[in-house]
Chains A and B, each alone.
Chain A
């Protein structure tokens, strides 16, 4: 068709970057969160089981540093960094428009910020501290038990868990709209409930894991 304007360029790094941000949030980051909570929910089975069958088994994986870097650290850095770029545009007005989706729009951005802070603490306390002190990796169960017995850390971990699970559940619901899986309002509502169910399940798994460390 003829038209007055030149054709827009077919190269579109913008959409590609946004979709990469969305994809990496689900796979590998969301998938890793599920795996991470599943692994740590086994803390209740005791120090011997946790240190040997959970942490030890992971440490015996081939190419573990590479897996951590490529499947966790780099996607996390991109997702968080590009998330901060997205954060710069937009205003939420959750008071003026008190709808669930608008509140979740606001919450998704706020929880992203909170998660960056929480993950700095969480990764620093475990993975980074373990680099300098081999005793931490040798008895991670005992280390976490001692750490979570401090009265200020357990609430922070519960909050971080809640933010992570809600961020993933809501991210999954909006990713379904973004990628075009759900289009009608009814489909979006149904899939939203499914995501809420997944979030509840993951939260239960995480709480089980956290209190499992404190079990006698």
Chain B
């Protein structure tokens, strides 16, 4: 058992001012940041000996599959469950995930993620007034391997937190940049045997204001993605698709 110093940026209400508190938390070998926060919840006493409300945080799967525990750890956005304390510099500094409105302490409102998925039509329409003209979707192994990379997205929001073009939560408007996560889903669903039927609609959605062309190619997204999704490759491929779609719209059909 070692003792880890933890600095947490806290905020009591969505509209109140954030403040910092430090804690000393016992950590077993192999502990991750979530384990620290759970240990802290049992005995929330600050370094100055004051007993405070436990730090609010979100978690679910504990195995980097749900994305709920993403936060800023030592200044970098990443899921807390896969952040091993042994690999982190001391003190461990925790802040809520930027670009998302704070609900309380390390809990953020992640609705923006889903609003942006809706904007780019990141779904497959299965139910229609007529039968789909395909029975069993067939995908070539080579394409399946490439597509699978994008299906690993856990919607943690780390790529959005690191993106210099993704608007701040308080500056967000309906035409702000949709961000790399939603764009990668367009890449995935446009290649899907049934999803490709709405390919043009999705391309038109990302060709509007706040779409693909708001990307500034800073490429932080691909560096911080915990699932190592080739987000910038998706953006390049969508660039090609939207160039062709633009020519088709201007001079084609």
Contacts and interface: CB of A to CB of B under 8 A. Distances in A.
Interface of A: 1-3, 5, 7-12, 14-16, 18-19, 86, 89-93, 96-97, 99, 101-102, 105-106, 174, 177-185, 187-188
B212 interface: yes
B177 A14 contact: no
Contact of A8 (B165, B208, B240): B208
Contacts of A97: 162, 218, 220, 223-224
Contacts of B220: 97, 99, 101-102
Contacts of A93: 164
Contacts of B118: 5
A179 B240 contact: yes
Contacts of B167: 89
Nearest to B220: A97
A23 to B, nearest CB: 11
Contacts of A182: 236
B201 A8 contact: yes
Given A1-B128, A96-B75, A183 B240 contact: yes
Which 10 pairs from chain A and chain B are nearest by CB? A180-B240, A183-B236, A105-B218, A18-B213, A180-B239, A101-B219, A12-B207, A15-B207, A14-B209, A1-B125
B213 A19 contact: yes
A93 B211 CA distance: 22
Given A93-B164, A174-B217, A178-B239, 18 more contacts: A2-B125, A3-B125, A3-B201, A9-B208, A14-B208, A15-B212, A19-B243, A90-B165, A92-B218, A97-B162, A99-B219, A101-B219, A105-B219, A177-B236, A179-B243, A180-B237, A180-B240, A185-B230
Q: How many B residues touch the partner, as a band?
A: 35 or more
A3 B124 CA distance: 9
B211 A15 contact: yes
B223 A92 contact: no
A102 B219 contact: yes
A195 B206 CA distance: 28
B214 A89 contact: yes
A92 B236 contact: no
Contact of A90 (B216, B223, B233, B243): B216
Contacts of A19: 213, 243, 246
Contacts of B223: 97, 99
B194 to A, nearest CB: 9
The secondary structure that dominates the B interface is: helix
A185 B233 contact: yes
A182 B240 CA distance: 9
A105 B129 contact: no
A19 to B, nearest CB: 7
B204 interface: yes
Interface string B215-253: 111111011100000101101111111111010010000
Given A9-B204, A10-B249, A15-B211, A91 B128 contact: no
Interface in B97-139: 118, 121, 125, 127-129
A7 B201 CA distance: 6
A101 B121 contact: no
B62 interface: no
A16 B204 CA distance: 12
A8 B199 CA distance: 12
Contact of B164 (A3, A5, A105): A105
Nearest to A97: B220
24 contacts: A1-B128, A2-B127, A3-B125, A9-B208, A14-B209, A14-B211, A14-B213, A19-B243, A89-B165, A89-B177, A96-B76, A97-B223, A99-B219, A99-B223, A102-B220, A106-B218, A174-B217, A178-B213, A178-B239, A179-B239, A180-B236, A180-B239, A180-B241, A180-B242
